[in-house]
Amino acid sequence: MYRALFVPFTVLIATLVVSCGGSNETSDSETAPVFLSMGTAPPGGAFFVVGSALAEVITETGVEEGFSVTGEATSGSQENIRRLLTGELDFALSNSAITFFAVRGTEGWDQAYPVRSVMTLAPNVALFVTPTDSGIETLEDLRGNRVTVGPAGAGFEYFVGPLLSAHGISYDDFSPLNATQQAAVDMLADGSSDAAFLGGAVPTASITQASASMDIRFLPFGEMEKTQLINDFLFFRPATIPAETYRNQTEPFDGLDVGSMHFITSANASDELVYTVTRLLYENRELVVEKHAAGRAINPNNVVRDTGTDFHPGAIRYYEEIGIWP
């Protein structure tokens, strides 16, 4: 039923294990198990938690199909994309900005990776934050300062780079520092960094932490620059942080979604498999919400939103059937 153009590593191992049990037949009353792996990110972050929630819902609701899905901790989007190509992963989460460049084989990717979107998930609303007494008021003021731009190897450069470039600056104009978001807040507090790029779903824990421990300023994006980014890259889109989201934030902040989380698979994945997984997640989206608030992004308007990566035919078929494909 779920015949693909290649046999994923996890399914191959599962087949060998079943074969070693002494029988290669399944009774009419039993469903042959289908073991699937889902790449997430390091434990502790939203990708790991959301990916684990998706894996649990597919397993819980895919009993008739025999699905058993494991949410696998990885280093994040870049590893996930590469392991989809080798068949070590069947599905994965990724930042849509990183996938955008991976499928095109640009911005440092060694080839065009055959990845397809299954559904668009939660937005990643991110911005530069600085203490109010830093003297930094605009992105141009970052020049000559120490700026934390995300964990090493996490791929933040795929959206921070274009954002900076649109405002006429680059990593060469300041001292870039690498750290997790929590560590970046600590560095702002102890003075070892002058500004930090923070974000995620709103409210973002790191920004909440920063605003609770010090007086902070959000560095505004230029209106023309935002328009340019939205026109040039499908993964950028307008996003507003409502007033009072964070301590002392008296006005709404007109920012950007710099690359939504999305659920992806290989272009070679079976249409029937992708169709069924898409159906299970969409029909049981309330179960995802119970496990993580990001499940609210599984809605008719958002799941089919184009972020610059083609959708898998199996997912398109399901969305067309329920009348939400644009």
Of 5-19, 127-141, 175-189, 251-265, the poorest mean pLDDT is in 5-19
Q: How confident is the model at residue 97 (pLDDT cuts 50, 70, 90)?
A: very high
Mean pLDDT value across residues 79-92: 97
Last residue of one domain, picked from the residues 257, 276, 298: 257
For residue 197, give the nearest of 250, 243, 233, 157 by alpha carbon: 157
Q: Are residues 228 and 311 in the same domain?
A: no
Q: What is the pLDDT of residue 203?
A: 87
pLDDT at 11 > cutoff 70: no
Are the C-beta atoms of 155 and 222 separated by less than 8 Å?
no
Instruction: Name 300's Cβ contacts closer than 8 Å, sequence gap at least 6.
Output: 324
d(CA 196, CA 184): 6
Last residue of one domain, picked from the residues 238, 257, 276: 257
Residue with tokens 């398109």: 316
Q: Which amino acid does the sequence have at 320?
A: E
Q: What is the pLDDT of residue 54?
A: 98
Q: Tell me whether residue 25 is in a domain.
A: no
pLDDT at 15 > cutoff 70: no
Instruction: Name 32's Cβ contacts closer than 8 Å, sequence gap at least 6.
Output: 18, 26, 66
What 3-state DSSP class applies to 92? strand
Q: What is the pLDDT of residue 21?
A: 46
Instruction: Name 279's Cβ contacts closer than 8 Å, sequence gap at least 6.
Output: 318
- CATH code for the domain of 151: 3.40.190.10
Q: Tell me whether residue 140 is in a domain.
A: yes
φ, ψ dihedrals at 193, nearest 5°: -140, 150
Q: Are residues 149 and 244 in the same domain?
A: yes
**pTM above 0.95?**
no
Chain centroid to CA 130: 25
What is the share, in percent, of the chain residues with pLDDT greater than 90? 82
Q: Are residues 133 and 252 in the same domain?
A: yes
pLDDT at 44 > cutoff 50: yes
User: Whole domain around residue 82: which residue ranges?
Assistant: 9-17+32-122+261-321
Q: Are residues 149 and 240 in the same domain?
A: yes
The residue that leads in pLDDT, 43 or 13, is 43
Q: Are residues 253 and 309 in the same domain?
A: no
Mean pLDDT value across residues 138-159: 94
Strand partners, 201: none
Mean pLDDT of the residues in the chain? 91
What 3-state DSSP class applies to 234? coil
* Span 149-173, pLDDT tens digits: 998 888 999 999 999 999 999 999 9
What is the share, in percent, of the chain residues with pLDDT greater than 70? 91
Q: Are residues 130 and 252 in the same domain?
A: yes
Instruction: Name 132's Cβ contacts closer than 8 Å, sequence gap at least 6.
Output: 215, 216, 217
Q: Tell me whether residue 2 is in a domain.
A: no
| Neighbour-count burial for 5-32, b at 16+ CB within 10 Å, e otherwise | eeebebbeebeeeeeeeeeeeeeeeeee
Q: What is the pLDDT of residue 9?
A: 43
Pairing of strands 125-131, 216-218: antiparallel
The HSE-up count of residue 305 (CA atoms within 13 Å, CB side) is 23
Total number of domains constituting the chain = 2
Q: Are residues 138 and 203 in the same domain?
A: yes
φ, ψ dihedrals at 209, nearest 5°: -65, -45
Q: What is the pLDDT of residue 4?
A: 43
Q: What is the pLDDT of residue 7?
A: 42
* Span 281-300, pLDDT tens digits: 999 999 999 999 889 999 99
Mean pLDDT value across residues 251-264: 97
